[in-house]
Amino acid sequence: MRVSLFITCYNDTLFPETGKAVVRVLERLGHTVEFRKEQTCCGQMHWNTGYLREAVPIIRHFVDVYRDAEIVVAPSSSCVSMMRDHYMKAADLAQDTKLAADVESLLPRIYEFTEFLVKKLGVEDVGATYPHKVTYHTSCHSQRSLHLGDIPIRLLKQVRSLELLPLENPQECCGFGGTFSIKNADVSSAMLADKARTVLNTGAEVCTAVDNSCLMHIYGSLHRQRTFVRTAHIAEILASTAGAEGGGQ
């Protein structure tokens, strides 16, 4: 299958290792990965902060870039949820029927990375080895928008040498929420403190998730506290083989 990678703007800028890991996993499974250089952002930051009109050209740009793609895969549930939950609304807001038609045609071809592996490819064992204690944070969009359920857990359970440790209240928000963490920095910090505490309580070496946005936030606290617990996007764990380092931030 020819998979077009939507790396997302923040992974592109901040977490290139995650993108490399996605490429590694997909190529290992025998697929061709392409990267369209015109890609930028899904528009979520603008949309969620209330800059709705400003988000529309970004959305239009995204749709133009991937119009003819066979499959689009993004290692971010929040960006994919932006597309599924809000792109049609954006088209309505712009009263752009062409955009609406394009969105309707494109959406069924867009997958979050783990969703793509399990739901589209039917793969749970991607041949990874990761000799570490890992805990999994259930990001908000992955559960409440994409309804990934136990898909990421099923993938992690197939990773050799990986010890999966349960997280208390895995479904509770880490407090990131994009610009929420800036506009309501104090409340966001309090939410984060709870999340960081539950992560530390697991005794895990690595906290993983399907979203680097949450992980960047969680790691911000773990690092500030000078703990030695790392975070790693699930793609980096799934890409890892034979005692390899799984990336980490």
Partner 1 sequence: MKEQAHSPWSNRSFPEAAKDLLADSQIRRNVRHATNVIQAKRNRVVGELPDWEQLRDAGAAIRAHALKHLDHYLAQFEENCTRAGGHIHWARDAAEANRIILELIQRHAAKEVIKIKTMTSEEIGLNRNLQANGIQPHETDLAELIIQLGRDKPSHFVVPALHKNRQQVREIFQREMHLPDLGGQPEDLASAARTYLREKYLRIKVAVSGANFLVAENGAVCIVESEGNGRMCLTLPDVLISLVGIEKVLPRYRDLEVFLQTLPRSATGERMNPYNSIWTGVHAGDGPKEFHVVLLDNGRSPILADDESRQTLQCIRCAACLNACPVYHQTGGHAYESVYPGPIGAILTPQLHSMHEGRSLPYASSLCGACYEVCPVKINIPEVLIHLRGKVVQQDQKTLSGKLGLWNIGMQAAAFLFADASRLSLAQHLGQIGQKVVVSKNGFIEHLPLMLSGWTQTRDLRPLPAQSFRDWWEQREKTQQTPIATAPTSSDKTQEKKHAG
Segment 162 to 181, residues that bind partner 1, using CB under 8 A: 171-173, 175-181
The HSE-up count of residue 2 (CA atoms within 13 Å, CB side) is 7
86-115 residues in contact with partner 1 (CB under 8 A) are: 86, 89
203-232 residues in contact with partner 1 (CB under 8 A) are: 216-217, 219-224, 228-231
145 touches partner 1 (CB under 8 A):
yes
Q: Check if the beta carbon of residue 76 is closer than 8 Å to that of residue 54.
A: no
Answer for which of 157, 190, 197, 203 binds partner 1 (CB under 8 A) is: 190
| CA quadruple 195, 201, 21, 129: dihedral, nearest 10 | -160
List the beta bridge partners of residue 19.
none
Tokens 């597309």 label which residue? 83
Answer for which of 1, 20, 133, 170 binds partner 1 (CB under 8 A) is: 20
What are the residues whose beta carbons fall under 8 Å from the beta carbon of 108, sequence distance 6 or more?
Answer: none
Contact range with partner 1 by CB under 8 A, out of 33-41, 101-109, 117-125, 155-163: 33-41
Tokens 């990934």 label which residue? 148
Contact range with partner 1 by CB under 8 A, out of 23-31, 94-102, 106-114, 157-165: 23-31
Answer for which of 4, 76, 114, 188 binds partner 1 (CB under 8 A) is: 188
Answer for which of 105, 150, 193, 197 binds partner 1 (CB under 8 A) is: 193
Q: How far is the CB of 105 from partner 1 (least distance, A)?
A: 22
Give the residue from 240, 236, 103, 210 showing the smallest Cα distance to 146.
210
